[in-house]
Amino acid sequence: MKVFRLSFLFLLLCGSAVAQNADSVMFRKLFDEALVNGNSYQNLEYLCKKIGPRLSGSANAQKAVEWTKKLMEGYGFDRVYLQEVMVPHWVRGEKETAKILVGKTQISVPIAALGMSVGTPKAGVTAEVVEVQSLAELAVLGEKGLKGKIVFFNRAFDPKPIETGIAYGGAGDQRRSGPTTAAKYGAVGAIVRSLTGALDDYPHTGTTLYLPDGKNIPCAAISTKGANRLSTLIKSNPSAPVKFYFKQTCQHLADVLSYNVVGELKGSDKPEEIITIGGHLDSWDLAEGAHDDGTGVMQSVEVLRILKATGYKPKKTVRAVMFMNEENGARGGKKYAEEAKRLNEKHIAAIESDEGGFTPRGFSFQSSPALVRMIKTNWQSLLEPYQASSLTVGASGTDIEPLGIVPGVVLIGFRPDSQRYFDIHHTPADVFENVNRRELELGGAAIASLVYLIDQHGFPKN
Amino acid sequence: MKVFRLSFLFLLLCGSAVAQNADSVMFRKLFDEALVNGNSYQNLEYLCKKIGPRLSGSANAQKAVEWTKKLMEGYGFDRVYLQEVMVPHWVRGEKETAKILVGKTQISVPIAALGMSVGTPKAGVTAEVVEVQSLAELAVLGEKGLKGKIVFFNRAFDPKPIETGIAYGGAGDQRRSGPTTAAKYGAVGAIVRSLTGALDDYPHTGTTLYLPDGKNIPCAAISTKGANRLSTLIKSNPSAPVKFYFKQTCQHLADVLSYNVVGELKGSDKPEEIITIGGHLDSWDLAEGAHDDGTGVMQSVEVLRILKATGYKPKKTVRAVMFMNEENGARGGKKYAEEAKRLNEKHIAAIESDEGGFTPRGFSFQSSPALVRMIKTNWQSLLEPYQASSLTVGASGTDIEPLGIVPGVVLIGFRPDSQRYFDIHHTPADVFENVNRRELELGGAAIASLVYLIDQHGFPKN
């Protein structure tokens, strides 16, 4: 019996080694296809250069919907379809202007209206400016200190966290909730330091969240150099109050019918089980939405193309989803989850790539530490040669989070290196030229490899 | 006794945990200093913008020597000195010109003389061009096929390896040994496809190795787009031979006295034991030598600055070395090793940063797998939060390799992410603007952390 048991153990170990080896061979095939015959870079070039900025509700957003649908049809995916979703339609209007007013001196500074902001009156807003570092300071200053003023939120990015997303999270309340909180105390405008650790002249746009009470004040992002200048002038003029002037003509138009764009490779064994990979098709209006999130969208399409090109027949259905409206409403993601629920779809996993097309680091799992431990034990060594083996508990992505309403789905965020992302995030610098071909391709291949593992083995159970 | 033994084991484990915790606290201090008060980025800006290209023997190389010496003196390092070294003095001369000649059609293509190449005759070289993919093909073609011809080495970078340095290694023989090998068969010139995976108009220079036999032919790098064009024209004109014309006025001048620049923090406990960190101060003449190797040089200075700024008193002597002449002779590295040997210096470790100032991945150790296993066991978890935990057996750096003649030294290469390096390597695009502040700073902090561990604990013994 002892001999038998040992032989059995030996066979088990061999079986495991053979499976591991087959996985490793498949990984190499997927990476080779991405690196040698990759299409994502040229597709991204088209999206950025031939279509360009594509904020929800815009004509370009519609062009992007039509083009990505055609692109996936051209690849011969098993099913390509549109999913209707009503989206907000906010427009920036004319280029914003802003000036710091110190006595008779006027100093122009670069601003950009925050997404979803109301415009100013035609003559602009001019008022004394009050600098704060946190929302908590507003309560201390109260209506007495803020009524009729422009509030200037100037808390900087914390340079210490290694992941820049942590600094973004730490400063983000100023943009999201600063303006509405200032409005409560009677402020007439809000200026927010751009959410970046870089020191330059780009204002970084991004959505501000208004309360439904209708007390909305115009708000804009100011470049970090502009913010430093404003802060210095306030500090060096303690007796004479510094004023600020800004004008913007942004407005909300009626909601527009738009679409998530979906492509599928149908599962050969369990077609009812679905693995979704996605990014968002909409982008801010200031640039080409290259890293945010053209790269994620084109990687998602590429994952299906790579799998198909290597001749791999997925057991489960693998779906690439180009979500609409992540930037200012996240309605595409919500709609996708509602439809999944309504149709009783069995989602096994969803992976989002929405942190830029930078060199891969790994994946974060919005799941239990126990599952991540098992994933590391079983799969980490396979990812190591591809430098994408950082597997952690963490956030997934705005578009797939609503899918959490579907029981049993594992939500996963693709994690590229984070160092450069917030230099260009939501600025005119988010252009195709700032994407590196190999970094983009390695990301697509890493996602394809994880999809392959989930498809072949399901998530590890021990 | 059993209780005693267990208690002893417990105390040992606690001691180890305390040490680990102290290390982790120190790591955080080093990274905070680098990220909050970092100097390397502004120092690099000075080196790139105020000094600029600094090929060995040039006036700029001398300026860089003087400025880095002053910089380190300004930081109050314990000892700053110059180490004399005679270096070659090669100059490019006028901008090169090159044309593909097909019948009466002339097509200009971008070339750059390879470093150390001889010039062409005044009228340039014009000859039929023969494309090869490897040096082995030359032996097959022989004198009959090559005499009087220009050899065009066109083997492309292999896109499949994840580390781009592997592709560079795989294609590099064409640049290093292609021209001399072609000369043996009577070729009159050599054109080498630029050593990059990118497809663009930059010719990438770099040293070619001539044999001492004096049979030197002029040679140049051609941009990858130019190479593709030339190859296509050759293939589409099988009956009419395609000719190539190029002219370059580069030449060798007399050797020049130059210097390695050395700064030290003196060890408080074992000052005779030395840990060296280095990069090379010289750079190619086509651009600012930002990633190659301004970043490595400025990180080396920064390591000493960070250690000092945190109040850390190293037990061993920590030395930053700005090596001269890595690019076309590596004489600074050889001189440093010779002096170390002559003075009987006890070098414990040497770390080189010469793969660009990109986001850190880890370190490679030119040592036994057994040592790397022990280093991983003891130190990898400390580096993981800083995303610099890839610890492998591998190459170190051109400048520190000669130090291998000193017994017991461990040679270490800092390994940043490799994806973008060869896009700009040895081209006019290697400029300050292509360096990301945080990536650079994280690299300096990662090196400082490793230096701290070696200084505190020596290399692990089990």
Q: If we measure between CA atoms, which residue out of B171, B93, B99, B406 comes closest to residue B274? A: B406
Q: In chain B, which residues have their Cβ closer than 8 Å to the Cβ of A162? A: 31, 385-387, 442
Does residue A310 sit at the B interface (CB-CB below 8 Å)? no
- Residue of A36, A198, A419 lying closest to B160 (CB–CB): A36
Cβ atoms of residues B89 and B324 within 8 Å: no
Interface with A, mutate which of B25, B158, B359, B422 (most A CBs under 10 A): B359
Strand runs labelled E in A266-389: 270-280, 316-323, 346-352, 360-366
Please tell me the predicted confidence (pLDDT) of residue B17.
Answer: 65
- Between chain A and chain B, the number of residue pairs with CB atoms below 8 A apart is 58
Residue of B nearest to A386 (CA): B162
CB-based contact A420 B442, cutoff 8 Å:
no
> Which string of DSSP letters, residue by residue, matches B275-305?
EEEEEE----TTS--IIIIIHHHHHHHHHHH
Sort out which chain B residues have CB atoms less than 8 A from A436's CB and list them: 419-420, 423
Q: Does residue A196 belong to the interface with chain B, where contact is any CB pair within 8 Å?
A: no
Residue of A nearest to B390 (CA): A387
Whether A415 and chain B come into contact, CB under 8 Å, resolves to: no
Percent of chain A with pLDDT over 70: 96
> DSSP secondary-structure letter at B362?
E
Is A380 near chain B, with CB under 8 Å?
no
**Is the pLDDT at B257 greater than 90, yes or no?**
yes
- Contact between A423 and B439 using a beta-carbon 8 Å cutoff: no
pLDDT for B175-198, tens place per residue? 999 999 999 999 999 999 999 999
Q: What integer pLDDT is reported at residue B213 of this predicted model?
A: 80
From the list A304, A280, A411, the residue with the least C-alpha distance to A355 is A280
In angstroms, the CA A447 to CA B81 distance is 51
Token readout for A415 is: 């994690």
Task: Say if residue A302's pLDDT is above 90.
Answer: yes
Please say whether the beta carbons of B264 and B321 come within 8 A: no
Please report which helix (H) or strand (E) contains residue B417, including its range: none
> A78 preceded by cis ω (within 30°)?
no
CATH 3.50.30.30 domain range(s) in chain B: 94-249
Distance from the Cα of A340 to chain B's closest Cα (Å) equals 36
Closest Cβ opposite residue B419 in set A160, A390, A438: A438
Question: Which residue from B162, B198, B359 is facing A419, i.e. has the nearest CB?
Answer: B359
Burial class (CB in 10 A: 0-12, 13-18, 19+), A240: exposed
Across chain B, mean pLDDT equals 95
Q: Most B CBs within 10 Å: which of A419, A420, A433, A441, as the mutation test of the B interface?
A: A419
Does pLDDT of A11 surpass 60?
A: no
Residues 139-178 of B with CB under 8 A from A: 159-160, 162, 164
Residue type, A140: V
User: What residue type is assigned to position B190 of the chain?
Assistant: A
Residue B160's pLDDT band (cuts 50, 70, 90): very high
Q: Is the peptide bond before A173 cis (omega within 30 degrees of 0)?
A: no
Separation of alpha carbons A421 and A439, rounded Å: 13
The whole-angstrom separation of Cα A276 and Cα A409 is: 10
Across chain A, mean pLDDT equals 95
Summarised one tens digit per residue, pLDDT across range A388-410 is: 999 999 999 999 999 999 999 99
Q: What is the pLDDT of residue A18?
A: 67
Q: Contact B417/A359, CB-based, under 8 Å?
A: yes
Q: What is the mean pLDDT of residues B386-394?
A: 97
State pLDDT tens for residues A339-380: 999 999 999 999 999 999 999 999 999 999 999 999 999 999
pLDDT given for residue A215 in this prediction: 83
Does residue B291 register a pLDDT over 60?
yes
pLDDT in tens, B83-108: 999 999 999 999 999 999 999 999 99
Band (A46; pLDDT cuts 50, 70, 90): very high
Average pLDDT, integer, range A43-49: 98
The band of B1, judged by pLDDT with boundaries at 50, 70 and 90, is very low
The per-residue pLDDT for range A123-155, each reduced to its tens digit, is 999 999 999 999 999 999 999 999 999 999 999
Average pLDDT estimate for B444-460: 98
Question: Per-residue pLDDT averaged across B199-212, rounded?
Answer: 94
Mutate to test the interface with B, among A45, A157, A168, A387 (most CBs of B within 10 A): A387
Instruction: Supply the DSSP symbol for B429.
Output: T
Minimum Cα–Cα distance from B384: chain A residue: A390
Please give the structure tokens belonging to residue B320: 């930053």
Instruction: List, as ranges, residues 197-226 from B with C-beta within 8 Å of A.
Output: 197-198
Question: Is A45 a residue whose pLDDT tops 90?
Answer: yes
- Using CA atoms, how far residue A324 sits from A411, A435, B37, in Å, is 19, 22, 41
Partner-chain residue, chosen from B419, B437, B442, that has the shortest CB–CB distance to A436:
B419
Which of B31, B160, B438 is closest, CB to CB, to A419?
A: B438
A24 touches chain B (CB under 8 A): no
d(CA A279, CA A354): 6
Tell me the mean pLDDT in the region A10-35: 81
User: Coil, strand, or helix at residue B388?
Assistant: coil
Closest CA of chain A from B36, distance in Å: 6
At A361 the three-state DSSP class reads strand
List the 25-84 stretch of A: residues with Cβ below 8 A of B. 31-32, 35-36
| Collapsed DSSP state (helix, strand, coil) of residue B90 | strand
What is the amino acid identity at position A67?
W
Dump pLDDT digits (tens) for B329-342: 999 999 999 999 99
HSE-up of B23 (CA within 13 Å, CB side)? 23
Q: Residue A240's pLDDT band (boundaries 50, 70, 90)?
A: confident
Which token pair is A174? 């100023």
Q: What is the pLDDT of residue B239?
A: 87
Show residues of chain A in contact with B423, CB under 8 Å: 436
Fold assignment, A27-90+254-457:
Aminopeptidase (3.40.630)
Residues of A serving a catalytic function are: 326
Longest alpha-carbon distance in chain B: 96
| pLDDT (0 to 100) of residue B214 | 79
Q: What is the mean pLDDT of residues A183-187?
A: 97
Is 80 exceeded by the pLDDT of residue B46? Answer: yes
* DSSP per-residue codes, A6-73: HHHHHHHHHHHHHHHHHHHHHHHHHHHHHHHH--HHHHHHIIIIII----TTSHHHHHHHHHHHHHHH
Residue A12, pLDDT > 90, answer no
From chain B, the residues in CB contact with A37 under 8 A are none
Torsion-angle region of A134 (φ positive above 0: left; ψ -120 to 50: alpha; else: beta): beta
Taking contacts as CB-CB distances below 8 angstroms, the residues of chain B near A197 are 438
**Phi, psi dihedrals of residue B240, rounded to the nearest 5°:** -100, 115
- Report d(CA B454, CA B303) in Å as an integer: 14
Please state which of the ranges A106-120, A206-220, A358-372 shows the lowest mean pLDDT.
Answer: A206-220
- Token pair in block for residue A378: 């079983």
Distance from CA of B186 to the nearest CA of A (A): 36
Query: Which residues make up the CATH 3.50.30.30 domain(s) of chain A?
Result: 96-249
In this complex, the residue of B159, B162, B417 whose CB is nearest that of residue A386 is B162
Please report residues of A whose CB lies closer than 8 A to that of B364. none
- Please check the confidence at residue B231 and state whether its pLDDT lies above 80: yes
Contacts of B197 in chain A (CB under 8 A): 438
Per-residue pLDDT band for A274 (boundaries 50, 70, 90) equals very high
> How far does the CA of residue A132 sit from the closest CA of chain B (Å)?
21
- 8 A C-beta contact, residue A87 and residue A255: yes
Distance from C-alpha of A425 to C-alpha of A418, rounded to nearest angstrom: 11
CATH 3.40.630.10 segments of chain B: 26-90+254-457
Res. A214 pLDDT band, cuts 50 70 90: confident
A96-249 CATH? 3.50.30.30
Q: How far is B192 from chain A (nearest CA, A)?
A: 22
Residue A437 has pLDDT above 80, yes or no: yes
pLDDT confidence of residue A16:
60
Residue B143 has pLDDT above 50, yes or no: yes
Q: Which of B30, B40, B417 to mutate to test the interface with A (most CBs of A within 10 A)?
A: B417
Q: What is the pLDDT of residue B6?
A: 47
**CB distance A420–B437 less than 8 Å?**
no
Strand A105-108 versus strand A97-102 pairing type: antiparallel
B420 interface with A at CB cutoff 8 Å = yes
Put simply, the answer to whether A162 touches B390 (Cβ < 8 Å) is no
**Mutation for A interface: B36, B435, B438, most A CBs within 10 A:** B438
Report residue A397: phi and psi, to 5°: -170, 150
Band the pLDDT of B240: cuts 50, 70, 90.
confident
**Whole-number Cα distances in Å, A375 to A347, A383, A389, A462:** 18, 11, 11, 9
* Residue A458 confidence class, pLDDT cut points 50, 70, 90: very high
Structure confidence at residue B15 as a pLDDT band (50, 70, 90): low
Separation of alpha carbons B85 and A37, rounded Å = 48
Q: How much is the average pLDDT of A224-232?
A: 98
The DSSP H or E segment spanning A376 is helix A369-383
For the stretch B398-440, pLDDT in tens is 999 999 999 999 999 999 999 999 999 999 999 999 999 999 9
Q: Looking at the complex, does the CB of residue A272 fall below 8 Å from at least one CB of chain B?
A: no
State the pLDDT at residue B212. Answer: 80
Q: Residue B273 forms beta bridges with which residues?
A: B346
Look up the CATH architecture of domain B26-90+254-457. Answer: 3-Layer(aba) Sandwich (3.40)
Is A260 near chain B, with CB under 8 Å?
Answer: no
pLDDT score of B127 more than 60? yes
- Where are the CATH 3.40.630.10 domain residues in chain A? 27-90+254-457
Nearest chain A Cα distance for residue B35, angstroms: 6
Q: Which of B45, B96, B273, B326 is catalytic?
A: B326
Cα distances (Å, whole numbers) of residue B32 to B20, B271, B381: 18, 27, 18
pLDDT cut 90: percent of chain B above it: 93
Class of B94-249 in CATH: alpha beta
Hey, CA dihedral for B120, B123, B128, B131, is it positive or negative? positive
